[in-house]
């Protein structure tokens, strides 16, 4: 386990978001990414809650933003170095953004995520 301050962890999440290709970030819509210390259930590193882009239709208007939560304490708990945290944050951010694009866990695992 490694200790990473909330401020530093938020910077790592921002840096991970900056690595997402611009052609993808341009089409991300009505989504917020936040750092949360602890997940609502054990063993979660991140969580996407919302309506994936692939499921939105003409009816989609006036809804609250989708939410991507990245959980600081569980990520720090499985990491031994700051480099491990950087890598795990990157993986978790990509994984949860993929859900925003309608990619499920099975497909992510097929793709190596």
Q: State pTM to two decimals.
A: 0.93
pLDDT digits (tens, 9 = 90+) for 88-113: 999 999 999 999 999 998 998 898 87
Q: Mean pLDDT, to the nearest integer, of 24-49?
A: 95
DSSP letter string, the chain:
-----HHHHHHHHHHHHHTS-HHHHTT--SEEEEEESS-SSTT-SEEEES--GGG--TT--SPPPEEEEEEHHHHHHT-SSHHHHHHHHHHHHHHHHHHHTT--HHHHHHTT-
Say what the pLDDT of residue 109 is: 87
Residue 113 is predicted with a pLDDT of 75
């Amino acid at each position: 386990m490694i200790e990473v301050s909330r401020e530093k962890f938020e910077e790592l999440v921002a840096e991970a978001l900056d690595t997402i290709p611009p052609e993808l970030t341009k089409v991300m819509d009505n989504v917020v990414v936040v750092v949360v210390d602890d997940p609502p259930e054990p063993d979660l590193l991140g969580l996407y809650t919302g309506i994936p882009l692939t499921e939105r239709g003409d009816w989609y208007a006036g809804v609250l933003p989708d939410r991507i939560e990245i959980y600081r304490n569980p990520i720090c708990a499985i990491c031994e170095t700051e480099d491990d945290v950087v890598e795990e944050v990157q993986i978790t951010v990509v994984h949860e953004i993929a859900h925003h694009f309608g990619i499920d866990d099975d497909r992510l695992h097929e793709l190596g995520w």
